[in-house]
Amino acid sequence: MSEPLLSVRDLGVVYETGRGPVTAVDGVELTVAEGEFAAVVGESGCGKSTLLFALAGLLNPPARITTGTVHFRGTDLVTLTERELNALRWRDYSVVLQSAMNALNPVATLAMQFRDAMAAHGTYTKDEIHGRSVEVLRLVGIDPVHLRSYPHQLSGGMRQRSMIAMALLLTPDLVIMDEPTSALDVVAQRSLMVQIKELQQLLGFAVLFVTHDMSLVSHFSDQLLVMYAGQIVEQGPTRTVFDHPSHPYSRGLLEAFPSVRGPRVPLRGIPGSPPDLAQPPPGCRFHPRCPLAYEPCDTVQPQLYAAGAARSRCLLHAPVDVAAPEVTS
């Protein structure tokens, strides 16, 4: 088998605060293959965006990577200088940030911003820049006439798609997206997700998509990673996680939004609140909110255990010698 496009091992990120260090990302491991659509989901504050910034080399103090490696095409991004990272960004991997529609320069036309992005990563003629700008705008369904438009002259959805077009200017192998649909209504969200998936299949780039909405990626991602309190608590094929969630937290997230099929059932929330990452609870971090918690959960820190086609950070799936009870089907 070939090496994965992106391979993350034991990644840890800490924020230095007046109360002491806060571990926002704790021992995260993930891989993204060529052309794969991977999604990271979880509640607000679980560390999703911090994970994304760490992978993209965009962390700023007081945040810092304390452990682990981030190998992209065999190169550890953690060890690179800012200048070396700048050479890779946009060309080899690109980032679409949360509220990307507000990230455009308000006093520059799309043409000027596309030109600046290409000029920073190579030597191109005016015709080459214009031709590529027209091409990527058409890819995301925007009339190239809007190259002369300023951001305020575009709708929110058009600005969001313009940012995705800019991320594709230099045909990167990986596009990292941090909740790019969060500022859009549900119809625009669906339309944008369909377009992202179609572009991914057309151009062959891989996607790492970060969101708090599990339903948003249910039909678009290949691999799903569920994050809680800085840790990956479940990881596996998307359909497996949706059809047979193996972690109580994943089950709680799925029960928190309605289904358009089947009988109407009352929605269930997850009781309690996420833990304080400055002082996470001992044992399993989800045990104070878990309906299936039992005695060892408050003392034994679970690892990611095999749970069918997925992996789950739950003692219910631990080997017998790790204090797991007998699980009946």
Q: Please, what are the averages of pLDDT over each run of 10 residues along the chain (329 residues)?
A: 89 94 96 96 91 94 96 95 91 85 86 94 93 95 95 89 92 92 80 91 95 87 96 97 95 79 75 90 95 92 95 93 51
Q: Where are the domains of the chain?
A: 6-92+173-272, 106-171
Supply the pLDDT for residue 322.
65
Show the tokens assigned to 292: 């299936």
- Of 96, 102, 103, whose CA–CA distance to 178 is shortest? 96
Distance CA 27, CA 13 (A): 9
Distance in Å from the first CA to the final CA of the chain: 34
Other Cβ atoms less than 10 A from the Cβ of 223: the count is 22
Q: Tell me how far apart the alpha carbons of residues 80 and 116 are, in angstroms, rounded to a whole number.
A: 23
The Cα 311–Cα 320 span in angstroms is 16
pLDDT computed for residue 269 by the predictor: 78
pLDDT computed for residue 312 by the predictor: 97
* 6-92+173-272: CATH class: alpha beta
pLDDT of 100 reads: 63
CA distances (Å), origin 106, targets 144, 153, 158: 18, 10, 14
pLDDT of residue 327: 45
Instruction: Give the pLDDT score at 318.
Output: 92
**For 260-310, what is each residue's pLDDT tens digit?**
666 777 777 788 889 999 999 999 999 999 999 998 999 999 999 999 999
Packing angle, helices 156-167 and 126-139, rounded to 10: 130
Tokens representing 298 are 């408050």
In total, the chain counts a number of residues equal to: 329
| Strands ordered across the beta sheet of 310-312 | 93-96, 174-178, 206-211, 37-41, 223-228, 231-237, 310-312, 305-307
